[in-house]
Amino acid sequence: MRNLAENIFGTIDPPAAIKGKEPGAGIGGLIQLVIWILIVGAGIYALINLVTAGYSFMSAGDDSKKVSGAWQKIWQTLLGLAVAAGAFVLAALFGQLIFGKWDFILNPSIPTL
């Protein structure tokens, strides 16, 4: 009887389908996985792009158009990396300002229990 007085509404057990699942499972875990796959993919793409642009620059010789094209590709790759890093900084700032946690946007958790 005392337990009922402490918790007048009782308790609700989670459904059997999600009972025992780890906290990273569900839609929040899926969103986090997609974010991290995009991060790793962007890094690998930037690395490949820098290597090919460097090779183009070294093999350009005296052709000013090829040298210019290689520098442009290097510049665009570095600019893309700066934009990607800036997105992380903005996500951390907005997460802190709006939700009070730096990693709220990058590590989403949807409370289900």
pLDDT per position in the chain (113 positions), as tens? 555 556 677 777 766 666 665 655 667 777 778 888 888 898 899 999 999 999 999 998 889 999 999 999 999 999 999 998 898 899 889 989 998 888 888 777 766 55
31, 109 Cβ separation under 8 angstroms: no
pLDDT at 30: 79
Tokens 């040298």 appear where?
Answer: 67
Mutual orientation of helices 64-94 and 27-58 as an angle, nearest 10°? Answer: 160
End-to-end CA distance of the chain: 25
pLDDT computed for residue 48 by the predictor: 95
pTM of the complete model: 0.62
Q: Where are the domains of the chain?
A: 24-113
